[in-house]
């Protein structure tokens, strides 16, 4: 995939109906003029395409020197992060020749067979791991799995997400900034809400103007209030 992936990802979210404009209530109870649903990538072609965007973001940040190249695995927190990690791994191998492992956690530890609460590549002490997730709201999933990675001796070197909504979390900082502060973990979004606005402002996707003046005004007002 071409590393000019941000515009392509915004367009793909529109085409897949994963990015919607209207009236929505977020997990935090805020009335939002837009909504992102990565569950809309629910076909083989859809999750394959999304994995390619995650892989492009990973490679982009490796080339910028922000992520190390000697990564052992891509980790997907249960449940939404699992298909993202697997598809990103497949795309890294196919599109960039980077073959790394994938793993994910069980919600309930297995008490038979090999046991444990991790599935996939067996992490070794010192292994560098990139975590994948969808949209960070409160960062609950990554906060839950971070102790699991530490217990395995793995080093989480970055968190790759689809969209950074850039909204305040529990305090004055954004949810992503809180993750950086609390876990000392760098976060890499494929796009931010500002990228979405910039890419869609005055542009058509498949012949339709997605961000008309009313939607743009509502988006800007929401961002001014919560971002």
Which residues are designated catalytic?
110, 112
- For residues 104-119, one letter each, b for 16 or more C-beta atoms within 10 angstroms of the residue's C-beta and e for the rest, the string is bbeeeeeeeeeeebbb
Q: Do the strands 19-25 and 31-36 form a parallel or antiparallel pair, or are they unpaired?
A: antiparallel
**Are the C-beta atoms of 149 and 156 separated by less than 8 Å?**
yes
Residue 68 token pair = 């190390």
Backbone phi and psi for residue 117, each to the nearest 5 degrees, phi listed first: -125, 15
51/55 Cα distance (integer angstroms): 6
């Amino acid at each position: 995939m071409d590393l000019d992936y941000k515009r392509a990802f915004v367009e793909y979210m529109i085409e897949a109906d994963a990015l919607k404009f209207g009236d929505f209530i977020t997990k935090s109870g805020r009335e939002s003029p837009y909504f992102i649903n990565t569950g809309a990538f629910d076909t083989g072609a859809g999750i394959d395409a999304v994995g390619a965007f995650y892989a492009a973001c990973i490679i982009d940040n490796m080339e910028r020197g922000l992520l190390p190249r000697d990564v052992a695995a891509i980790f997907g927190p249960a449940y939404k992060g699992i298909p993202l990690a697997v598809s990103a791994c497949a795309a890294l191998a196919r599109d960039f020749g980077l073959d790394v492992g994938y793993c994910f956690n069980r919600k309930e530890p297995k008490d038979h067979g090999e046991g444990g609460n991790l599935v996939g590549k067996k992490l070794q002490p010192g292994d560098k791991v990139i975590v994948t997730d969808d949209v960070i709201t409160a960062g609950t999933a990554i906060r839950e799995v971070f102790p699991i990675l530490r217990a395995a001796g793995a080093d989480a070197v970055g968190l790759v997400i689809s969209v950074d909504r850039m909204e305040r979390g529990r305090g004055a900082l954004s949810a992503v900034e809180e993750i950086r502060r609390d876990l000392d973990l760098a976060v890499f979004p494929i796009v931010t809400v500002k990228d979405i606005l910039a890419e869609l402002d005055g542009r058509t996707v498949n012949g339709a103007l997605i961000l008309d003046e009313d939607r743009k005004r509502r988006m800007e007002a929401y961002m001014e209030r919560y971002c």
